[in-house]
Amino acid sequence: MHSFQPPVIELKTKLEIDIMREAGRAVARILQILFTKLEPGVTTGELDKIALQEIRSLGMNPAFLGYRGYPATACISINEELVHGIPRNDRRICAGDIVTVDMGVIHNGYYGDAAATFPVGVVSAEARELLQVTKDSLDSAIACVKPGNRLGDVSRAIQDCAEQKGYAVVRDYVGHGIGRKLHEEPPVPNFGKPHTGPRLVPGMVLAIEPMVNCGGYQVKTLADEWTVVTVDGRLCAHFEHMVAVTDEGCEVLTVL
Ligand code: MF3
Ligand code: CO
């Protein structure tokens, strides 16, 4: 007999969340270190090497290296590149770029995952506003994470925040549950309808990751089969935090 089973969202115990907090803090720490290395002239390949060294020095493992064949530790995406930029020794960062670093670790069997878009030196007013709006949309999503709210409330908060300022949210990539696997149930879209979707309960851990475009929401994958860029070539930004639902509300795990 076949019957419909709703996808299972794995709830984490307090002890599991303690481990995920260590993983999340490590990712936050390494993103901070990489930000300090984002000088004009540095290559994305050099940054990736630093990321791997830092992960190893904490006794952790890189989560993305080898994931579905991904060839590096971090995803480093510049300007119109949205996600999954592959670090290269011939790709140099320039003053005025915005650079997204997305990185994951595995620590005692649990994943940590976070991303941020950083300005390199002085960037355009357009870029500055994009970064602010994308960060704000993540903050407004986190403010909705509490028991009793539904996932659609979180998704909608991101969408409203971005669209009200005239930006578009990407449809093709979404956030996710996270735990013993990098991608667990439920998918966490950056768009949606309030009062829909699974109800949030303590023990859920979500990777919430708004991806916001200055132009249209359409993106495409380049011939390297990884790098995702905006179709119109305009700027985009991506911020990701791992958030645990608690009895009172939530706790952001990817902070120092
Ligand atoms: N950071 C991405 C996410 O949040 C995953 C990157 S997958 C990889 O889901 F293959 F590029 F590593
Ligand atoms: Co993620």
Q: How many CA atoms lie within 13 A of 201 on its CB side?
A: 10
- Tell me which residue has its CA closest to atom 7 in ligand 1: 64
What DSSP character marks residue 150? B
Checking if the pLDDT of 61 tops 80, the result is yes
Please report, for the chain, how many H helices and E strands are present, in that order.
Answer: 4, 15
* pLDDT tier for residue 1 given thresholds of 50, 70 and 90: low
Atom of ligand 1 nearest to the CA of 67: 10
Q: Distance, CA 166 to ligand 1 centroid (Å)?
A: 27
Checking if the pLDDT of 6 tops 90, the result is no
Domain coordinates in residue numbering, the chain? 14-252
Angle between helices 125-143 and 151-164 (to 10 degrees): 160
Checking if the pLDDT of 214 tops 90, the result is yes
**Which of 3.90.230.10, 3.30.390.30, 3.40.50.10860, 3.60.15.10 is the CATH number of 14-252?**
3.90.230.10
Question: In the chain, which ranges are E strands?
Answer: 61-62, 74-78, 81-83, 98-107, 110-119, 168-169, 175-177, 184-188, 205-208, 211-213, 219-221, 228-230, 236-238, 241-245, 250-252
Atom of ligand 1 nearest to the CA of 207: 4
Contacts of 36 (CB under 8 A, 6+ apart): none
Report yes or no: 88 and 47 within 8 Å, Cβ to Cβ: no
Using a pLDDT cut of 70, give the percent of the chain over it. Answer: 99
Mean pLDDT across the stretch 38-65? 98
Question: Distances in Å between the alpha carbon of 151 and those of 1, 137, 157, 177, 245?
Answer: 30, 15, 10, 11, 11
What pairs with residue 205 in β-bridges? 244
Report yes or no: 119 and 152 within 8 Å, Cβ to Cβ: no
The percent of the chain in helix, strand and coil, each rounded to the nearest 5, is 30, 25, 45
225 lines ligand 1 (CB under 6 A): no
Checking if the pLDDT of 15 tops 70, the result is yes
81 lines ligand 1 (CB under 6 A): no
The predicted structure's pLDDT at residue 7: 86
Average pLDDT, the chain: 97
Return the HEC string of 43-56: EHHHHHHHHHHHHH
Using a pLDDT cut of 90, give the percent of the chain over it. Answer: 97
This prediction's pTM: 0.97
What pairs with residue 114 in β-bridges? 103
Chain segment 147-175, per-residue pLDDT in tens:
999 999 999 999 999 999 999 999 999 99
- Tell me which residue has its CA closest to atom 8 in ligand 1: 64
Nearest CA to 234 out of 79, 4, 48 is that of 79
Q: Which residue has the tokens 């950083």?
A: 118
Angle between helices 14-36 and 44-57 (to 10 degrees): 140
Q: Which residue has the tokens 């009062």?
A: 195
Q: Distance, CA 103 to ligand 1 centroid (Å)?
A: 8
Chain segment 96-146, per-residue pLDDT in tens:
999 999 999 999 999 999 999 999 999 999 999 999 999 999 999 999 999
113 lines ligand 1 (CB under 6 A): yes
